[in-house]
């Protein structure tokens, strides 16, 4: 079902400073800042030859990322995103197998303008997993 690794997401306490570390210290290409009100985040993508790193920061204190940052003030890895060919078939298959899809269980549009879902880390070895339709 899962395909290529799309990105690894890291929550950061300061998005501008984190972007600069990737640009200046590591010489990476970093995207413009994207705001996703439906997900409660501001983010940038660090472009790599074979994948991306997503740097996340909360939009406000009601963001789920805000709670993560309160528990981990220095930030840290938040989730890993895999690509799937058909998100709706993936949801159907996962639901049939008893997997817990977070939120209302329906895909929402993610940072790349494509449907995404998140899977409970309790069922996936302690890792929050995002699936994104290609």
Sequence spans of domains, the chain: 5-133
Share of the chain above pLDDT 70, in %: 100
Mean pLDDT over all residues of the chain?
Answer: 96
pLDDT band at 50 (very low <50, low <70, confident <90, very high): very high
Whether 130 is catalytic is: yes
pLDDT in tens, 18-48: 999 999 999 999 999 999 998 999 999 999 9
Choosing from 47, 92, 130, 132, the catalytic residue is 130
Helix then strand count (H, E) for the chain reads 3, 9
Supply the pTM of this predicted model: 0.94
pLDDT in tens, 53-65: 999 999 999 999 9
What is the spatial distance between Cα 89 and Cα 111, in angstroms, rounded to a whole number?
Answer: 21
Query: How many residues comprise the chain?
Result: 134
Q: What is the CATH number of domain 5-133?
A: 3.10.180.10
pLDDT in tens, 87-119: 999 999 999 999 999 999 999 999 999 999 999
Q: Which residue has the tokens 């939120």?
A: 103
């Amino acid at each position: 079902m899962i395909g290529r690794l799309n990105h690894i997401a890291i929550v950061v306490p300061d998005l501008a400073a984190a972007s600069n570390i990737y640009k200046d210290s590591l010489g990476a290409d970093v995207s413009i800042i994207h705001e996703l009100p439906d997900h409660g985040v501001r983010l940038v993508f660090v472009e790599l030859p074979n994948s991306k790193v997503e740097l996340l920061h909360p939009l406000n204190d009601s963001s789920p990322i805000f709670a993560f940052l309160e528990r981990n003030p220095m930030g840290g890895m938040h989730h890993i995103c895999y690509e799937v060919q058909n998100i709706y078939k993936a949801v159907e298959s996962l639901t049939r197998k008893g997997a817990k899809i977070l939120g209302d269980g329906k895909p929402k549009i993610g940072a790349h303008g494509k449907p995404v879902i998140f899977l409970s880390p309790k069922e996936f070895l302690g890792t929050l997993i995002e699936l994104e339709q290609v």
